[in-house]
Amino acid sequence: MGHAELEGKDTSGKGEGLTVQITYKRGRGQMTVNVPEFLRMRQISRYRKLMRLVRQSDTPDAADGIVQYIRQELADMDARMKEAASGTVRTRTQAKEMQPEIDRLVALRDKYKRGTDQYKECSQWVKDARQIHRDLGKLSRSYEAEFKALQKGRKFYQKAIAEEDKR
């Protein structure tokens, strides 16, 4: 039938994980699958096809390695989700706390006439504070996007594990 091998850690720089070499149709067909990249597609039908192909190859134990990888990622995902959620809350709180400081600096700046050295100095402080506020907002959105991606990945991995538990 075919042949499948697990090569262990991926050294391509795209991320760590499994690489699976699959040979099928009596050696005429060959495929290399970077498992983490493949699973990022989050398509259960493609996952089923891959697992069917691996199980029909000469070494179906490679499928067990893929399942073990999924189980490990699923176990690690809860901690990563908590970290992303706490990062979102922390940066949003910092951004909200930054707003009164910006208002205070604007009020301080408005005490001086335009064009004076004190006004220019206070304007720089306002500019810096607003930049920090923007950066905190970007960081918060980044944490939130990471959390949502982890949620989707977790849901997909749970479906994949449910598929394997049916076997």
Nearest-angstrom CA–CA distance, 145 and 50: 28
pLDDT number for residue 1:
46
Centre a 10 Å sphere on the Cβ of residue 1 and count the other Cβ atoms it contains: 13
Q: What is the pTM of this model?
A: 0.75
Instruction: Name the amino acid, one letter, at 151.
Output: Q
Beta strands in the chain (DSSP E): 3-6, 19-24, 29-34
Question: Residue 157: which of 63, 77, 50 has the closest Cα?
Answer: 77
pLDDT number for residue 18:
83
pLDDT number for residue 13:
41
**In the chain, which residues have pLDDT < 50?**
1, 9-15
Question: Residue 65: which of 42, 25, 36, 44 has the closest Cα?
Answer: 36
pLDDT number for residue 5:
52
